[in-house]
Chain A
Amino acid sequence: MSAPTAASPIDQRPLRGVLALFASRAGFYAFAALVAAFFALPMAWLVLAPFEAHPTFVAGLVQPTLDNFAVVFKNPDALASLRNSLVLAVGTMAVVVVCASLAAYALSRVKLPGRDITLYVLLLFSSVVTGSAAMVPIFVLVYDLHLINTLEGVILVLAGGTLPASIFILKDFMDSVPTSYEESARVFGAGPFRILKDVVAPIVRPGLVVIAVWSIVTVWGSFLTPFILLDKPSLLPASVEIYSYYDVGGSAKLPLIAAFALVYTLPVVVIYLIVQHRYGFRFFGGIKG
C-alpha cells in the first residue's frame, strides 16, 4: 500500500524520514478509520437489530434469533407492501425501458434542433420537479385523471420523472453503435421497429440494464410520490408502509420494523452490488429522486 503523502524518494535524514513516514501513515489510516466509522455506525442497527430477540434503539446482539423475520412473513400487510413495491418498480421500469429506447434511438439517429440542450434542461428539471416542487399539481392532476389511489398513477408519474435521465444515459450508448448494422438490416427490408428491437437493442444491452436497474432502485426507494398519491392501506408500498410502523405514538414495533427494514433494503443493495460487479457501473447523473 502506498500512502499518498509518503513521497520523498530518497531521504537524507533516515530517522526523521522514518518518523515522518510513520506519522503520515498513521494520519492516513486514522482518517480512513474515522470515515469508515462515520458511515458504518448508523448502519449497525440495520444489520444487528433484525436478529435480536428484544431490539432496542441501541444496535446490539444479545439474544440472536430469526423470529423477527417470521413476524414479517406472517404479516399480510408487510407482504402486500413488498408486492406493491415490486409492481411499482417493475411497472415503471417496463414503461421507462420501452419509451426511453424509442426516444433515445430517435434522438441518436436524427438530429433535431436544440436536441442536446433540451435534453440537458429536462435532466436538471426532472431532478427538481420529481423531488418535491411539483407535489401539489401532480396530486391535483392525478386526482383529475381519476388515477388517485391506483398503482398505475404512481407508475406514470414516476416514469415521467425518470425518463429524461434514462433517455440521456441510453442515448450515449446508442450513439456509440455504428449504423452499418442498421443499414444492412434495412437492405433486407426490416422496418424501424424491427431494427430497433432485433439489431440495436441487443447491442446496447448494457445500457438497457443500466436504466432498468436504475429505475427499479429509484422507484423501490421512492417515498413522496406514493405517499401523496396513495392512502388506501392495501396499496401502500414498503417505503410508506414501514413509516406507518414507527409513527404509532411511543410504541414503535421494533422487531417488526427491524426485520422488515432489512428485507426491504436487501434487494436494492444486492442488485447494486451485482450490477457494479458485472458492469463496473455507478449510478450516475441526474438521477436519484
Chain B
Amino acid sequence: MKKLEVDKILEKNGWKKNKIVGILQDIQDVYYYLPEDVLIYISEKLNIPLSQIYSISTFYKAFSLKPKGKYRIKICLGTACHVRGGYIISEFLKNKLKILPGETTKDELFSFETVNCLGACAIGPIVVINEKYYGQMDVEKTEKLINKLK
C-alpha cells in the first residue's frame, strides 16, 4: 500500500466519514479492488469501525475485495442484452476462462464479472474490456477478442 496515494484520496474527500463510499470508489479506481491493508488504514484514520467499512464494501456491487486481472471483462446482463443473448456470452466465458463471474484466472490475466446494465442497450449485447465498450457482440466475436489478448 502506498500511504501517500491513499492520503491523497482522503484529502480529496476532506477526511470526512460520510464520504466513505466515494473514498472507496477512488481507492478502487486506483487498485481495481479494495486491498485489505488499505481498508484497515482508512478505518484507523477516519475512525470508522472496520466492520462498517466491510459492510459497505460488500453491500455495493461496484466494490471487489478480490484483486482483478490484467483484463477486466464485463458482460452486460441488462434486459436488452439478455433478450439478445448476453447470457450466452457469459456462459461461454465461464467455460472458456474456467472461472465464475467475480473471479480472476490463475495467471491473473483475466477477471470477469456480469453487470446489470451499462446503458448502451441499443447496441447490445455489450462486452466491456477494461474501459473499452464492444457492441453487438456474440460468442464468436468474444472468443476472437479473448484470443487476441492471450
A associates with B = no
